[in-house]
Structure 1
Amino acid sequence: MSTAVAEPTASGTNPDAILNEKTLLTTTTRKAGDASSEMGASSIDSKSIREADPKSPSAEPAGPVKRPLTNPAPNCNPTPRAPLTADQQAKYKEVLATVSAWTEIPTTSSKNAPNSPITEDERLWLTRECILRYLRATKWHTTAASKRLMETLVWRREYGIAGFTADYISPENVTGKQVIFGFDNEGRPCLYLNPNKQNTKQSERQIHHLVFMLERVIELMAPGQETEALLINFKESSARSNPSVGTGKHVLNILQNHYPERLGRALITHLPWYVTTFFKLISPFIDPVTKSKMKFNEPLTDHVPASQLIKTSGGDVDFVYDHEVYWPALNALCDQRRREYRERWESAGKHIGESEVYLKGGDEGSVGVELKVEATE
Structure 2
Amino acid sequence: MLKRWYGDKDHREQDSAEKQTKINELRAAIGPLSGHSLLFCSDACLRRYLEARNWNIQKSKKMLEETLKWRAAYKPEKIRWDEVAVEGETGKMFRANYLDRSGRTVLLMKPGNQNTTSQDNQLRHLVYLLENAIMNLPPGQEQMVWLIDFNGWSLSNSVPIKTARETANILQNHYPERLAVAFLYNPPRIFETFWKIVKYFLDPKTFQKVKFVYSKSGESSSLLEEVFDMDKLESSFGGKNNHQYDHAEFSKLMQQDDVKTAEYWAMGDEVTEMNGNSTSNHDLKVNGNATAQS
Name the TM-score class by shorter chain.
0.7 to 0.9
Indicate the SS of the match to 1:240: coil
The residue identity in structure 2 corresponding to 1:94 is: E
Count matched residues.
266
Q: Which amino acid aligns with 1:174?
A: E
- What does residue 292 of structure 1 align with? 208
Could you tell me how far apart the structure 2 residues matched to 1:308 and 1:353 are?
A: 39
Structure 1 residue 281, shift from structure 2 partner: 1.2
Residues in 2 aligned to 1:178 and 1:356: alpha-carbon distance in whole angstroms = 29
Q: Map 1:274-289 onto structure 2 (within 5 A).
A: 274-289=190-205
Which protein is bigger by CA-based radius of gyration?
1
**Aligned positions of 1:100-111 closer than 5 A:** 100-102=31-33
Change beyond 3 A, Cα 1:127–1:342: farther
Matched to 2:259, the amino acid is D
Equivalence for 1:59: none
1:330 matched residue in structure 2 = 254
Residue 104 of structure 2 is matched in structure 1 by: 188
**CA distance, structure 2, for counterparts of residue 222 and residue 348 of structure 1:** 26
SS of match in other structure, 1:221: coil
Q: Which amino acid aligns with 1:90?
A: T
CA–CA separation in structure 1 for the residues paired with 2:239 and 2:258? 25
Task: Tell me, in whole angstroms, the C-alpha distance in 2 between the residues paired with 1:357 and 1:235.
Answer: 44
Corresponding position of 1:301:
225
Query: For the residues of structure 2 that align with 1:277 and 1:347, how far apart are their CA atoms?
Result: 49
Letter in 1 for 2:46: I
3-state SS of 2:153 partner: coil
Gaps of 5+ in 2: 1-11, 214-219
Q: Residue in 2 aligned with 1:128?
A: 43
Measured after TM superposition, the shift of residue 343 of structure 1 is 6.1
- Give the residue type in structure 2 aligned to 1:330: M
**Partners of 2:181 and 2:247 in 1: how far apart?**
26
Q: Which runs of 5+ in 1 are unaligned?
A: 1-81, 103-117, 363-377
1: CA distance, partners of 2:115 / 2:247? 13
Judge conservation of contact 1:220–1:334 (CA < 8 Å) in 2. no
Amino acid at match of 1:148: M
Q: Is the 8 A contact 1:190 1:230 kept in 2?
A: yes
CA 1:342–1:226 in 2, change beyond 3 Å: closer, same or farther? farther
**How much has 1:191 moved relative to structure 2?**
0.3
Q: CA deviation at 1:335?
A: 3.1
The match for 1:243 is 159
Residue 235 to residue 292, structure 1, CA distance change in 2 (3 Å): same
Give a deviation string over 1:241-273, Cα, whole Å, max 9, x none. 211222211111111111111110101111112
Give CA deviations for 1:224-243 in whole Å, capped at 9, x if unaligned.
11111000111121212211
Superposition RMSD on alpha carbons, in Å?
2.8
Maintained 8 Å contact 1:342/1:359: no
- 8 Å CA contact 1:135, 1:145 repeated in 2: yes
Once the two structures are superposed, residues 23-67 of structure 1 have per-residue CA deviations (whole angstroms, 9 ceiling, x without a partner) of xxxxxxxxxxxxxxxxxxxxxxxxxxxxxxxxxxxxxxxxxxxxx
The partner residue of 1:354 within 280, 283, 288 is 280
Paired position in structure 2 for 1:264: 180
Cα separation, partners in 2 of 1:177 and 1:235, compared to 1, 3 Å? same
1:56 matched residue in structure 2: none
Give the 5 Å matches for 1:218-237.
218-237=134-153
User: The residue matched to 1:180 in structure 2 has which SS?
Assistant: strand
Q: What is the aligned-residue identity percentage?
A: 30
8 A Cα contact 2:81 2:254, kept in partner: no
TM (norm. structure 1) is 0.64
Task: Supply the AA of the counterpart residue of 1:158.
Answer: A
Secondary structure of 2:190's partner?
helix
